[in-house]
Amino acid sequence: MTGLEDHLRGLWLPLVTPFHGGALDERSLRRLTRHYGAGAVDGFILGATSGEGMTLREAELERLVAVARDEMAASGHTMPICLGLSGADTARLKERLDETADWPIDGYLIASPYYVRPSQRGLLAHFEALADHAAWPIVLYNIPYRTAANITNQTLLRLAEHRNIVGLKDCGASREQSIALLRDRPKAFRVLTGEDANYFEALSDGADGGIVLSAHVETATFAAVHAELKRGNHDAALARWNEVAELTRLSFAEPSPAPAKYWLWRSGLIDSPEVRLPMVEVSSELAAAIDREIERRTKVAA
């Protein structure tokens, strides 16, 4: 699949990485890929924050991509895959781009360098160096409350001019900045929100879609919010959003992706809610709250 920018819209799922007994759970991964690949999802992000990518060894990450792509091929469903990469060393990230250049992916989601807090000139030089080097298109990931480095709109607009930078996952936590970027961006530069709780708001402001962890649950409803807004049905979109807004709170009531993994385990989509340290499984209090919500939604559906 080529032309990532043409597919960078709608509902993208930052797929959780299932583990069992400390290892990658390939059986559950196939089940997840088959389930969401047949639904309303427009693309997958693998090995990023929600996929606990920073805990994955290179062989595990490569296997994660290979299994997901293989399962899609077997089930006859094709959708783009972006691989999540992060790091604070530009040279090492260029090596990672070389190491993954022949993997069956369609692009990269690359976060700002964390901890080192580079200047805007440093961010510009960092991402241009990566984009010049990458074999696949890059989607930028601006999430300053994790990295301590906000990519300003001035820098983003410069980066948007690069032929190999096609979009942004926007977790900037500033609606004013996001609206200004949507107004000023080049036509082909895609912006997807990564803030689950602001999904409806961002789409209403003109974002092209969302990368939404909470959409592991009630996926079709999250997709319907986008579809109704595209058709100009604001009230219908808001009604669908109100059906799932509470899920965004539960999904992040404790460090992600533990709540989503617990829900998927309770729903039978993965065989274990296991996460890797320093993440821990959900507390008994949150587990009980999720159980109640599952029961409530089951009754409503019946």
**Residues with catalytic roles:** 141, 169
Residue 201 is encoded by which pair of tokens?
């708001």
> Which phi and psi angles does 288 have, rounded to 5°?
-65, -40
Residue 91: C-alpha distances to residues 96, 98, 224 (Å): 9, 11, 41
Alpha-carbon torsion angle 91, 95, 101, 104, nearest 10: -110
Secondary structure of residue 171 in the 3-state scheme: coil
Residues facing 83 on adjacent strands: 46, 108
Residue 51's region, left for phi above 0, alpha for psi from -120 to 50, else beta, is: alpha
Contact by Cβ (8 Å): 112, 143:
yes
Query: Tell me, what amino acid is at 169?
Result: K
Residue 145's region, left for phi above 0, alpha for psi from -120 to 50, else beta, is: alpha
Q: Is the peptide bond before 113 cis (omega within 30 degrees of 0)?
A: no
